Amino acid sequence: MNVRPENPVIVQGDGKVLVETSHRRHAEARDFLSRFAELEQSPEHLHTYRISPLSLWNAAAAGVSQTELVKGLKDLSKFDIPKNVLDSIHETMERYGLVKLIPHPDRKDLLRLEFATAYIAKVVSALPAAKEMMVADGRRWWGIQAGHRGLFKQRMLTSGWPIEDLAGFSPGAHLEIKLRQTTKLAQKPFVVRDYQTEAAKRWFMDGKPAGGHGVVVLPCGAGKTIVALKTMSLVNTHTLILATNAAAVDQWVREILDKTHLTPDQVGAYMGERKEIRPVTVATYQILTWRRNKGDEFEHLHLFSDRDWGLIIYDEVHLLPAPVFGATADLQGRRRMGLTATLVREDGREGDVFSLVGPKRYDLPWQLLEKQGFIAEAKCYEVRVPFAHGLLDRYERSDEAGKFKIASVNPAKMTVMRRLIDKHKDDNVLVIGTYIDQLEDIAATFRAPLITGKTPHARREELFDKFRKGQIKLLIVSKVANFSIDLPDANVAIQVSGTFGSRQEEAQRLGRILRPSAKSDGAFFYTVVTRDTKEQEFAMKRQLFLTEQGYRYFIQEQAAT
């Protein structure tokens, strides 16, 4: 066995990869592993990654070759890579592209299956998941009904066979979409950054059947909306955009009108009281999944068929609700783009994103963008506080959910809040939390405005606008501010409570402060947790996302008072 003690990586026989965090090549190893593996554990000195079939297939779809992957692993490893791991990497990545969906030359109701070999055809056609959906297509071919395109890909992925979809897409109704060279509102030069152009091109693939579907992974603040606008200008078709909430819809509409030559009568919002269906329509996930009662139909899913959409954009695709997955399975003939800062889903449905929206086409590490000045340098701190007097006994007597909330709303956090808010009195500070009663106390204590889910949309926009203009320096927000809110001057976030170990939430909350500003000295992200509790355990899970992106937490201990 060859031993290279100077390297930072150990590849285990079970497929897990260990990385020394203090090693001089740690950043190199982290960025390399992020292309095909998922970070599972991130204690201080040794991080653990897991190589999964889905992570390898996403890598293959994004253009990572087996040769490149194995060569990189060998170059970073202390010991020889176990043969079973090399064999597994080879067999798994080899499967991507062995089964392809291609257009049928004569029939629109069928899609043809193309197998790499007759043996592969025999193996796949014997799978129960495939057998009931495959139909004989003459004497030499197999096919599936065109309407089964999404369901077939889902079932095949579950069976360990990722389908490369080359069946092509409907062009949709034509719409000329040109980007401005100068923004409409501020009359400032508008230039699409090189990586934004590259992301759009990787997704589009010059209009070839292999392109036109898939996910672009970029950090918040890196301009995923601009990637989408560039994509729209490549496709030139009627476009449906799905966003997380009403504020995000308004932001999308503003960006489209500000940076393209589309006019207000061509861009509509579909939400709440506004039900505008126009050549470019932006809707919320909530309106699409709304129904009067649990057993009723989803009344607004008809939006998917109300126009001849040629492109559907899923903003924050990692939050795609289950009913929209179902609708997306029926939309495989339309081009689809997913935008996200993380492919990790709390419900474990990453495979459905791969099958129904498409594989990962492009990603870029946060730290690389930070070094280039496109996102702000972030300093992350976890501040651990003791329980306030008398709360420890109550905590010990509670059930698991009760323990988490008691720790989250611990009044002892208020002392830390005072210190941090005073320290950053000249900065633009967001205080973010989950529990409304806790946020109301903070807002009252510091005489700061509060935005929750019950805040009227117009009032939210008024407060966000004042914050952007510097008229408000401290803003208290609930989970409604996690997603797609453009607050470019925010440079400090204080997280006082969060969801159970949500990596998605951590990504979005950090993203609120990553837009660089000449007025501030980098970004500061504080998470205040109660020491030695369930909250601290879940905070460690949330840190996984930041760690895999290259950020390190600095732990601060608050003394008992």
Candidate ranges 233-242, 346-355, 505-514; pick with highest mean pLDDT: 233-242
pLDDT, the chain, mean: 88
In a domain, 184, yes or no: no
Predicted confidence (pLDDT) at residue 79 exceeds the cutoff of 60: yes
In a domain, 176, yes or no: no
Determine the pLDDT at residue 484: 46
Determine the pLDDT at residue 518: 45
The whole-angstrom distance between residue 17's C-alpha and the CA centroid of its chain comes to 23
366 or 109: which carries more pLDDT confidence? 109
Q: How many residues are there in the chain?
A: 561
Assess whether 412 and 351 both reside in one domain. Answer: no
In a domain, 351, yes or no: yes
Going by their DSSP bridges, the two strands 429-432 and 492-495 should be labelled as parallel
Assess whether 383 and 474 both reside in one domain. Answer: yes
pLDDT digits (tens, 9 = 90+) for 470-521: 899 999 998 765 544 555 567 888 989 876 545 555 555 566 555 555 455 6
Distance separating alpha carbons of residues 434 and 411, to the nearest angstrom: 15
In a domain, 186, yes or no: no
Determine the pLDDT at residue 192: 97
Assess whether 521 and 381 both reside in one domain. Answer: yes
The number of folded domains in the chain is 4
Determine the pLDDT at residue 320: 86
Assess whether 73 and 52 both reside in one domain. Answer: yes
pLDDT digits (tens, 9 = 90+) for 169-196: 999 999 999 999 999 988 999 999 999 9
Assess whether 332 and 236 both reside in one domain. Answer: yes
Angle in degrees, CA 514, 546, 530, rounded to 5: 105
The reply to whether the predicted model has a pTM over 0.85 is no
Predicted confidence (pLDDT) at residue 273 exceeds the cutoff of 80: yes
Predicted confidence (pLDDT) at residue 259 exceeds the cutoff of 70: yes
Determine the pLDDT at residue 419: 94
69 or 378: which carries more pLDDT confidence? 69
291 or 261: which carries more pLDDT confidence? 261
pLDDT tier at 367 (50, 70, 90 boundaries)?
low
Predicted confidence (pLDDT) at residue 353 exceeds the cutoff of 80: yes
- For residue 231, what is the domain's CATH number? 3.40.50.300
Distance separating alpha carbons of residues 412 and 419, to the nearest angstrom: 12
- Please compute Rg for the chain using Cα positions: 25
Assess whether 423 and 532 both reside in one domain. Answer: yes
Q: For 388, which DSSP code?
A: P
pLDDT digits (tens, 9 = 90+) for 300-332: 888 998 899 999 999 989 888 888 888 888 899
Assess whether 351 and 376 both reside in one domain. Answer: no
Distance separating alpha carbons of residues 545 and 555, to the nearest angstrom: 17
> What domain range is 124 assigned to?
99-165
- DSSP assignment string, 271-307: ETTEE---SEEEEEHHHHT--SSTTS--TTGGGGGSS
In a domain, 79, yes or no: yes
pLDDT tier at 379 (50, 70, 90 boundaries)?
confident
Average pLDDT rounded to a whole number, residues 142-164 = 95
Assess whether 55 and 135 both reside in one domain. Answer: no
Determine the pLDDT at residue 439: 95
Assess whether 285 and 352 both reside in one domain. Answer: yes
pLDDT tier at 139 (50, 70, 90 boundaries)?
confident
Predicted confidence (pLDDT) at residue 386 exceeds the cutoff of 70: yes
In a domain, 179, yes or no: no
Strands across the sheet containing 280-284? 274-275, 267-271, 280-284, 239-243, 311-314, 335-340, 213-217, 360-363
In a domain, 305, yes or no: yes
287 or 296: which carries more pLDDT confidence? 287
Q: Are 288 and 301 in contact (CB under 8 A)?
A: yes
| Nearest CA-CA partner of 435 in 416, 423, 450 | 450
Average pLDDT rounded to a whole number, residues 18-41 = 87
Average pLDDT rounded to a whole number, residues 245-256 = 90
Candidate ranges 203-207, 208-212, 506-510, 514-518; pick with highest mean pLDDT: 203-207
